[in-house]
Amino acid sequence: MKQNEFLATVMPFKDKLYRMAKRLLVSKEEAEDATQEVLLKLWNKSDKMGSYKSVEAFAMTMTKNFCLDRLKSKQAGNLKLVHSNYEDGQHNLQRSVEQADSVSWVEKIMEELPEQQKMVLQLRDVEDYDFEEIEEMLGMKATAVRVTLSRARKAVREKLIQKHSYGIG
């Protein structure tokens, strides 16, 4: 595969790889490094890309595995989850602060979820992948993906309700 073919294949989902890495790693720099490493690995496997059913799913799986390996490594002693996909400068200051607070709460709640629930919630609700793609990326059955997503959403919803109704009633 030539460079221009590789770029045409990989570049459309490069940002998704970065967002996945950022969800799992501590900083923009860590996520950028992880994304670069995965892109380099993809380039080294470019001759085999035609044999993959979905290059994007393969790349997302590589990103997930690379980041999880980083988290397990000795150098990852202080890595934690940090992420925000939401920026909107068109609202007034108060609304922007409220939205940032809401995103922050959801991030904190997601940090407390089990790893599998975090991944499924990220892939489905943030990255907007289909259930079939999530099944392939995470090696799970369809019913397991749906149950995991349902449990993750329920946990987030319950924590948000608990936060917002604190001191009421």
Angstrom distance (rounded) from CA 115 to CA 98: 27
Domains held by the chain: number: 2
For the whole model, what pTM was predicted?
Answer: 0.51
- Residue with the larger pLDDT of the pair 9 and 76: 9
> Quick one: 71 and 109 in the same domain?
no
pLDDT above 70: percentage of residues in the chain: 81
In whole angstroms, how far apart are CA 147 and each of 9, 55, 106, 116, 144?
32, 26, 20, 11, 5
> Quick one: 70 and 96 in the same domain?
no
Angstrom distance (rounded) from CA 98 to CA 117: 26
Would the pLDDT of 86 be above 70?
no
In a domain, 60, yes or no: yes
- Look at residue 73 and give its three-state secondary structure: coil
> Quick one: 62 and 125 in the same domain?
no
Question: Of 80, 110, 142, which one is at a domain's C-terminal end?
Answer: 80
Would the pLDDT of 39 be above 60?
yes
Domain range for residue 141? 92-169
> Quick one: 6 and 69 in the same domain?
yes
Angstrom distance (rounded) from CA 148 to CA 134: 11
CATH number at residue 47: 1.10.1740.10
> Quick one: 72 and 99 in the same domain?
no
> Quick one: 111 and 66 in the same domain?
no
Across the chain, mean pLDDT equals 81
The count of C-alpha atoms lying within 13 angstroms of the C-alpha of 32, restricted to the half-sphere facing its C-beta, is 3
> Quick one: 164 and 102 in the same domain?
yes
> Quick one: 73 and 136 in the same domain?
no
> Quick one: 105 and 140 in the same domain?
yes
Question: Of 46, 80, 114, which one is at a domain's C-terminal end?
Answer: 80
> Quick one: 117 and 72 in the same domain?
no
CATH number at residue 107: 1.10.10.10
Q: Which pLDDT belongs to residue 7? A: 86
- Residue with the larger pLDDT of the pair 119 and 73: 119
> Quick one: 98 and 163 in the same domain?
yes
CB atoms near residue 81 (< 10 Å): 18
* C-alpha distance across the termini of the chain, in Å: 64
Long-range contacts of 120-126 (CB under 8 A, 24+ apart): 120/145, 120/148, 120/149, 120/152, 121/149, 121/152, 121/153, 121/156, 122/20, 122/23, 123/20, 123/60, 124/149, 125/149, 125/153, 126/19, 126/23, 126/85
Q: Which pLDDT belongs to residue 45? A: 87
